[in-house]
Amino acid sequence: MKILGALVVLMLMHSFYDLVDAQGSWQILNRNAGIACMHAAATHYNTLIMLDRTNTGPSQIRLAGGKCRNQPLERILKNDCWAHSVMMNPVSGAVRPLTVQTDTWCSSGQFFDNGMMVQTGGDFEGLRKIRTLKPCPPEGNCDWMELAEPLAKGRWYASNQLLQTGTRQIIVGGRNEPTYEFYPKRRAGEGAYYLSVLDGCCDNLYPFVFLLPNKLLFIFANKDSVSLNWETGKVVRKFPTIPGNPRNYPSAGSAVMLPVSYTTGFTRGEIMVCGGAANGASRTNNVGAACSNNCGRIVATAAAGGWAMENMPIRRCMGDMINMPNGEVLIINGAMNGFQGWGKASNAVLNPVNYNPNAAAGRRFAMWAKTGIPRVYHSTASLLADGRVIVAGSNTHQFYTYTGAFPTELRVEAFSPPYLGANYNAYRPAITGAPIALKYNQVFTMAFTVGVRRGAVTVYQNSAPFTTHSFSQGQRSLHLKTSVPVRAGAGWSMQVTAAPNNSLAPPAWYIFFCVQNGIPSKGKWIKQNN
C-alpha cells in the first residue's frame, strides 16, 4: 500500500512537472527597477543595459552621488537628478543608475566587435547624437559617453545593423528621413543615402534590417522589402509585398531571421515577420482594431519566390520575436487590439507563443505560460545567456503614471522557457570547455557534460541585439556543424566548425549554446574574430 501510495505521488508529481515544464514559468526579478525600459541589450558581462527617454520627468531612481544633469535643451526637467538608464545584474536583480546626457526617445543601437554599445539618435536635442557605453562586470562603474561628432541626419525611430568588419554599423531610416548612413562614416563628410522603400506614407518606422548570408542587407518597411548592396547603394531585389497589414511602427509587427544553418551551406537567409496593427489603424485612430494573427516567411537570399503565410494561435501587436538558444522563435509581449502610441492599445497578450520552424506546418506554434503583468507599448524582451528571457518596461503614458489600465511598469520579470524545467535537468548539457575566441571556419573542440545522453547534440551561436519597439536590431542565430560527441573523461567532446565568414557572423561577442534534443545548455560568450 505504502509503495503504491508513493508511486501515485511520484506519478502525480511527474505530471505536475510535465505540465509546468511544458509551458515555462515566470519570476519577478526586481519590483522596481527605477525606470520603464524602452530599450534593452544584454552584454557579454551578463548584465542588461536598460534605457528609457530622458524627457519623462522624474523616474524612481536618482543619479549616483547626488549628481544632476544640467541640459538647457531638455524639455521637462532642465536640472534633472533622476536616472533614465540603468545597468541590471539579472542574477541578483540589482540595478545601478547610468547617466544619459541627451534624449534617447525612440533611438537605436548596436554592439561593435569589441563589445561597445553604440547608441544613436533620439528626440529633440538627442536627434543627431551618438552615445557609447563600454560594458563592464556587474560590480564595475561603466557609463554612457556622448560623442561630439553628430549623425549626418536626425534619426528618430531608426534601426541599426552591425556590418561585416564589426567596426561599422548602418543606421537605417527614421521619421521623415528615408535614408541610411554609416557610423563611423566611410570617408570624412559622408552624408546619407536615399532608399525608396523607406519613403512610404506610414507604418514604416523602425524598419526591419538584417545582414543576409549573401552579404546584402534585407530592409523591410510597411509591407515592402528589398535587398540592398550597401557597398554600392544598389537595390538587388525588390521582394513581393507581404499579404495583409503593414508591419512597422506604429503598426507594431516584429521580425526575425530564422537560424542560418550549415545544413543549407549557410546560404539560406529566411525572414519571418509576424503580427502588427490592422490596415490604417493609426491613421484613423482606430484603437479598437484587431491586430493581425498572421506571419509571413520569405527566403531573402533566393532570386525568386514570395511570402508563405501562416497563423499564430493569438493575434498580436507589439510582440517581440526572439531567436531562442535551440533554434526556435519566441513571440512575447504586446496586445490584441490597437497600435503603438500612448494609450493606443488594449487586451494585453499575456501568453508567449513558441514557434518551431522545423516542425510540420500546422504544428509549429505552442502556447506557453501566461504572466500577470501586461507589457504593451515601450516594453522589451531580451535573451540572457542562462536561457531565460528578461522582460521589462511598458509605459503607454507621456510621464510616469501609476494609475489606469496600463500603469507605467517598473517591474522586471524573467520568463523561463520549458527547457529550463526541472524534469529536463538530466538532459540539459553544460559546456565545460570551448575557446574564448574564434576565427572563421575554425574547427574547435567543445566539451560538455550531461546526465543522460539522448538524441542529437547541436550548437547554436546567437548575437546580442539591441531591442526596442518590438524589434531586436542586429539579432541573428547560426546553427553550426558538429561531429558526433564522443566520450571524454567524465563528459563528452565534439568538433564544431565556426561560421564561414563575416556576412554570417560579423565580428562581435556571441552566445554559444550546446543543445541536446532541443534542451540548451547555459550559453558561453565567445568572441568571433575577423
Ligand X SMILES: *[C@@H]1O[C@H](CO)[C@@H](O)[C@H](O)[C@H]1NC(C)=O
Residues that bind ligand X (CB under 6 A): 213-215, 265-267, 500-501, 503-504
Q: Which residue has the cell 520552424?
A: 357
The cell for 527 is: 568572441
Q: Give me the least distance between CB of 216 and ligand X, in Å please.
A: 11
Q: Give me the least distance between CB of 260 and ligand X, in Å please.
A: 9
Q: Give me the least distance between CB of 254 and ligand X, in Å please.
A: 26
Q: How many Å apart are CA 193 and CA 205, to the nearest integer?
A: 16
Q: Give me the least distance between CB of 170 and ligand X, in Å please.
A: 17
Q: How many Å apart are CA 355 and CA 164, to the nearest integer?
A: 29
Q: How many Å apart are CA 217 and CA 210, to the nearest integer?
A: 6
Q: Which is nearer to ligand X, 260 or 281 (CB)?
A: 260
Q: Which is nearer to ligand X, 18 or 231 (CB)?
A: 231
Q: Which is nearer to ligand X, 212 or 390 (CB)?
A: 212
Taking the alpha carbons at both ends of the chain, their separation in whole angstroms is: 66
Q: Which helix (H) or strand (E) holds 8?
A: helix 2-23
Q: How many Å apart are CA 512 and CA 404, to the nearest integer?
A: 42
Q: Residue 198 has what DSSP assignment?
A: G
Q: Which is nearer to ligand X, 110 or 261 (CB)?
A: 261
Q: Give me the least distance between CB of 185 and ligand X, in Å please.
A: 23
Q: Which is nearer to ligand X, 260 or 414 (CB)?
A: 260
Q: Which is nearer to ligand X, 265 or 288 (CB)?
A: 265
Q: Give me the least distance between CB of 464 and ligand X, in Å please.
A: 21
Q: Give me the least distance between CB of 501 and ligand X, in Å please.
A: 4
Backbone angles phi, psi at 22, to 5 degrees: -70, -20
Task: Kindly tell me the number of DSSP H helices and DSSP E strands found in the chain.
Answer: 1, 45
Q: How many Å apart are CA 170 and CA 317, to the nearest integer?
A: 26
Q: How many Å apart are CA 488 and CA 381, to the nearest integer?
A: 37
Q: How many Å apart are CA 396 and CA 400, to the nearest integer?
A: 9
C-alpha 320 chain-centroid distance: 7
Q: Give me the least distance between CB of 500 and ligand X, in Å please.
A: 4
Q: Which is nearer to ligand X, 255 or 505 (CB)?
A: 505
Q: Which helix (H) or strand (E) holds 19?
A: helix 2-23
The cell for 207 is: 524598419
Q: Give me the least distance between CB of 162 and ligand X, in Å please.
A: 16
Q: Which is nearer to ligand X, 214 or 279 (CB)?
A: 214
The cell for 450 is: 550531461
Question: Among residues 463, 334, 380, 323, which one has the least CA distance to residue 50?
Answer: 380
Q: Which is nearer to ligand X, 269 or 327 (CB)?
A: 269
Q: How many Å apart are CA 359 and CA 370, to the nearest integer?
A: 23
Q: Give me the least distance between CB of 474 and ligand X, in Å please.
A: 18
Within 8 A by CB and 6+ apart from 64, the residues are 83, 96, 97
Q: Give me the least distance between CB of 183 and ligand X, in Å please.
A: 22
Within 8 A by CB and 6+ apart from 29, the residues are 88, 90, 93, 390, 412, 413, 414
Q: Which is nearer to ligand X, 305 or 313 (CB)?
A: 305
Q: Which is nearer to ligand X, 21 or 113 (CB)?
A: 113
Q: How many Å apart are CA 252 and CA 204, to the nearest integer?
A: 10
In total, the chain counts a number of residues equal to: 530
